[in-house]
Amino acid sequence: MKVKAVDHLAVTVSDTERSLEFYVGKLGLRQVEQHQLEGDKCDEAGGTNGARAQSTRLAAPDTPHILLDLLEFFEPPGNKHVTPMGSVGSCHFALTVEDLPASVDALRAQGVEFISGPVNFELTEGSVSVCFCYDPDGNLVELMEEYEH
């Protein structure tokens, strides 16, 4: 088997509208679809029983074919556990921005919590500056800016 492409990433959220204020309102992603998930096929695919959820799909301007799904489960009610960075089961995704320091300043002014300010890493070709912030549910989001040598 050989993977052909990345299609989407999914993040479980407790309140879609609150998450849209963050991902669309503050980060600038665009909502492209919203649909309900329920019934036998959803239970079979997800290994659930009686699940009822909503998927809201978002896209970034330069990669409209890679989607970020915000999943809100109505049934069964989800728990609020978020796995901390570095723990097995934790995950994050990275979003590329222009002018990372200015982006961090603007987001902090809007109440977004960051782990740190931008940190630079030298790569084999070029360098990258990264930092991590939290979405409204405590999910980790990496913001990054790439530089060429």
The 10s digit of each residue's pLDDT in 86-119 is 788 788 999 999 999 999 999 999 999 999 999 9
Q: What are the DSSP calls for 70-104, one per residue?
A: EEEEEETTPP---PPTTSTT--EEEEE-SSHHHHH
Task: List the end-to-end C-alpha distance of the chain, in Å, as a whole number.
Answer: 36
CATH 3.10.180.10 in the chain: give the residue spans.
1-78, 85-149
Helix (H) or strand (E) holding 46: helix 40-46
Superfamily covering domain 85-149: 2,3-Dihydroxybiphenyl 1,2-Dioxygenase, domain 1 (3.10.180.10)
The CATH number that domain 1-78 falls under is: 3.10.180.10
> Residue 52 and residue 57: Cα distance in Å, rounded?
17
Helix (H) or strand (E) holding 16: helix 16-20
The whole-model pTM stands at 0.89
